[in-house]
Amino acid sequence: MDQTSAPIFEALEKFRKMRVVPFDVPGHKRGRGNPELVDFLGEKCVSTDVNSMKPLDNLCHPVSVIRDAEKLAADAFGAENAFLMVGGTTSAVQSMVMSALKSGEKIILPRNVHKSVMGALVLCGAVPVYVDPECDARLGIPLGMSLAALEKTIEKTPDAKAVLVNNPTYYGICSDIKSIAALAHKHGMLCLADEAHGTHLYFGEDLPAAAIRAGADMAAVSMHKSGGSLTQSSILLTGPRVNGDYVRQIINLTQTTSASYLLLSSLDISRRNLALRGKSAFAEVVKLADYARGEINDIGGYYAFSSELKNGGSVYDFDRTKLAVHTLDVGLAGIEVYDILRDEYDIQIEFGDLGNALAYLSIGDRIRDIERLVSALSEIKRRYARDKNGLMENEYIAPAVAVTPQYAFYAPKESLPLRETAGRICSEFVMCYPPGIPILAPGERVTEKIIEYIRYAKEKGCSMTGPEDAAIERLNVLKQEV
């Protein structure tokens, strides 16, 4: 297909030049009703914030330019179908899970999944069966799903309908997605991939395997992360084993009927950019990340990890575009480094957890920005380094699942002080965001270890989200034990 084409963008440009009189929504009428919005976003941007109409197609039932853009995206990614998503990858993940599963059906997945996966289980009533990931003792991070662990889980749960895998994790850890997909298919299960952090895998060279090309049946891909489109724009990919028309029906259950053409056109333009220039662009990203790791490791104390973690199992491969740095050996939690970089050096990295910090590199980064980051980290070590005694090690806490997420979320509940919830069943989410991986999910039993982890994360300044009580002094738990 002609990857130089961008059908949605081209249709918008043609429409903008037609000077059509708007008696439809949005109400700002090409910005005339909201001049401050025009001043902020620009006339060209606001004038193309339009509603669905025949010349511009309709995302809920595309028949022309959006359909063509989706076909081009499917071709670029090597998928059977590509669905443009304007509700973020959260919407793509939830549509993926709900397309594969119905109420009461089981899905095998690692526990270190994004909250969107757990939210999908709340919505559709599917039952999670966890493969607890191995952890790196030094880094305190969960690793990938090993094939051996998956095989054992399938033996115990042969009636599961799907397997879900992170490809890659936030930290760059990749499982053997090709073998996982083959094993799932052997047992009559679908293979789903959360590729929120893996757009570049489809376009770069010498990178880990992209899920759809490795045989996965569906993949939720965050184009706005490493792909360069506008925030909240995403793509859901499907393979030949999946009924695309049914997936569209599932998507339309929750996705807006007023899709933003700013988001849609950004997906269209970004797909074109990656199809034409992605190979060279991501080669440069890898080069920058490798250089940054070398410079950071030369500082001493910090550990910017990479492909040396590969072990053929739980770390089958490593995404070298990810610049994750272990910070505990300089006596600082990752979240502390995150805060210092922002507050004192005007450097905004992606996130910090209890032991690591992550700088997200992609197609817009420059060598001088890398140099600035390295210099700041060196200075932070000189100014703030201390003994690491007393710092909590980042660790994966295996969940104690008591009831399904859907049951717990909707069951009668009561609010208790956090310190009094040990032994009770949680009915809401608790997580640090980013990365948005739940510490607690609905249906899991609260333990003293989890309470201490939450308390410590709050103390260190992690951004905590999920519960009704924004201060996370209280937690909703089931009224009656099950």
Query: Looking at the 3D structure of the chain, how many domains does it have?
Result: 3
pLDDT of 57 > 70? The answer is yes
Element of type H or E holding 74: helix 65-77
Domain shared by 76 and 172, yes or no: yes
**Pair 99, 257: CB distance under 8 Å:** no
Least Cα distance to 277 among 322, 344, 227 occurs for 227
pTM of the predicted structure, to 2 decimals:
0.95
Residue 229 pLDDT > 80: yes
48 near 261, Cβ under 8 Å? yes
251 and 312 within one domain: no
pLDDT at 242 over 70: yes
Cis amide bond preceding 240, omega within 30: no
The answer to whether the beta carbons of residues 258 and 51 sit under 8 Å apart is: yes
**Are 312 and 163 contained in the same domain?**
no
| 92, two tokens | 């793509």
392 and 456 in contact (C-beta within 8 Å)? yes
Identify the band that residue 481 occupies on the pLDDT scale cut at 50, 70 and 90: low
> What tens digit of pLDDT does each residue of 278-295 get?
999 999 999 999 999 999
61-71 residue pLDDT tens = 999 999 999 99
For residues 198 and 131, state if they share a domain: yes
Identity at 206, one-letter amino acid code:
D
The per-residue pLDDT of the chain, averaged, comes to 95
On whether the CB atoms of residues 248 and 242 are closer than 8 A, the answer is: no
Range of the domain at 82: 60-258
The per-residue pLDDT for range 113-169, each reduced to its tens digit, is 999 999 999 999 999 999 988 889 889 899 999 999 999 999 999 999 999 999 999
**Is pLDDT above 60 for 482?**
no
Residues 369 and 423 reside in one and the same domain = no
- The helix/strand/coil state of 181 is helix
For 342-410, the DSSP string reads HHHH----SEE-SSEEEEE--TT--HHHHHHHHHHHHHHHHHH----TTPPPP------B-S-HHHHHH
159 and 203 co-located in one domain? yes
Is 10 part of a structural domain of the chain? no
Count of residues making up the chain: 482
Indicate if 428 and 373 belong to the same structural domain. no
Number of H helices, E strands in the chain: 14, 18
Q: Is residue 40 part of a domain?
A: no
pLDDT by residue (tens digit) across 329-358? Answer: 999 999 999 999 999 999 999 999 999 999
% of the chain with per-residue pLDDT over 70? 99
The domain that contains 420 carries what CATH number? 3.90.105.10
Classify residue 31: in a domain, yes or no: no
Q: Is residue 25 part of a domain?
A: no
CATH of the domain at 238: 3.40.640.10
Digit-coded pLDDT (tens) for 384-412: 999 988 888 766 788 889 999 999 999 99
72 three-state secondary structure = helix
Q: Give the model's pLDDT for residue 466.
A: 92
Find the mean pLDDT for residues 442-470: 92
Single out the residue in 349, 384, 419 at which a domain terminates: 384
Do both 117 and 163 map to the same domain?
A: yes
Which pLDDT belongs to residue 391? 85
pLDDT of residue 403: 95
The answer to the question of residue 251 being in a domain is yes
Are residues 473 and 441 both part of a single domain?
yes
447-451 long-range contacts, Cβ below 8 Å, gap at least 24? Answer: 447/397, 447/400, 447/422, 447/423, 448/422, 449/397, 450/397, 451/418, 451/419, 451/421, 451/422
What is the structure's pLDDT at 390? 82
